[in-house]
């Protein structure tokens, strides 16, 4: 069975991958809609493009985690918060800049993320007594209480999405994805490349 485009997001990433890689990665299926002609048309469907597969896998796993958090009673936890929360569950009161580095986030992204987490009563900012220019990020009582149910959801979802994948294949996948991330990091910040 051919995969179907089920959302505008699917269409966007599929067309972008087509732009990048041409028709080599695509089959065609009659599920598009030509606004001008008001008729269904053939739309490229990605079957083996890396960009599509990474994007689609991320979307599916993120949706499953979001539903899992809601079912576990921690609906104020978003999958986007996990990098920061896991860092704080390991060590509370970390400086915001260091927390962003550990979570792999740019300072511009970090500010907005912390705003949302503070709004959702998961963290609070506090001035660093040793550095007036810096802030330390602390978990609230809700942020601390979310730890066990949120981590249980993460473990359950990851268990489902990796079901049937051999350990060696999973290890190779992780290593490959890390290499892809390293390549992007080198492009964005050549001075901060990881040491082998």
Domains located in the chain, CATH noted? 1-71 (no CATH), 75-147 (1.10.10.10)
pLDDT over 90, % of the chain: 54
pLDDT digits (tens, 9 = 90+) for 14-26: 555 555 555 555 5
**What is the CB neighbour count within 10 angstroms for residue 96?**
19
Say if pTM beats, i.e. exceeds, 0.75. no
pLDDT-based confidence at residue 189 (cuts at 50, 70, 90) = low
Tokens encoding 136: 């330390």
In the predicted model, what is the mean pLDDT of the chain? 81
Mean predicted confidence (pLDDT) in 6-10: 50
Q: In the predicted model, is pLDDT for residue 156 greater than 70?
A: yes
Q: What is the pLDDT of residue 192?
A: 56
Strands 123-128 and 131-139: antiparallel
| pLDDT value at 11 more than 70 | no
pLDDT in tens, 83-128: 999 999 999 999 999 999 888 888 888 999 999 999 999 999 999 8
d(CA 171, CA 182) in angstroms, rounded, equals: 16
- Residue 181's pLDDT is 86
- Helix, strand or coil, per DSSP, at residue 11: helix
Backbone angles phi, psi at 73, to 5 degrees: 85, 15
The Cα–Cα gap between 79 and 142 comes to: 16
């Amino acid at each position: 069975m051919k995969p179907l485009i089920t959302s505008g997001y699917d269409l966007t990433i599929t067309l972008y991958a087509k732009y990048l890689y041409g028709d080599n990665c695509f089959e065609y299926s009659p599920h598009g809609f030509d606004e001008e002609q008001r008729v269904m048309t053939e739309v490229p469907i990605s079957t083996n493009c890396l960009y599509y597969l990474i994007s689609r896998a991320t979307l599916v796993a993120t949706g499953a985690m979001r539903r899992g958090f809601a079912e576990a009673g921690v609906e104020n936890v978003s999958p986007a918060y996990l990098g920061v929360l896991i860092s704080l569950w390991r060590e509370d009161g970390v400086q915001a800049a260091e927390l962003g580095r550990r979570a792999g986030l740019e300072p511009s992204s970090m500010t907005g993320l912390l705003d949302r987490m503070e709004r959702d009563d998961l963290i609070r900012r506090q001035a660093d007594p040793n550095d007036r220019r810096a802030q330390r990020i602390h978990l609230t009582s809700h942020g601390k209480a979310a730890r066990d149910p949120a981590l249980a959801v993460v473990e359950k979802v990851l268990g489902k999405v990796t079901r049937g994948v051999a350990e060696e294949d999973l290890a190779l996948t992780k290593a490959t994805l890390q290499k892809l991330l390293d390549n992007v990091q080198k492009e964005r910040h050549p001075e901060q490349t990881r040491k082998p």
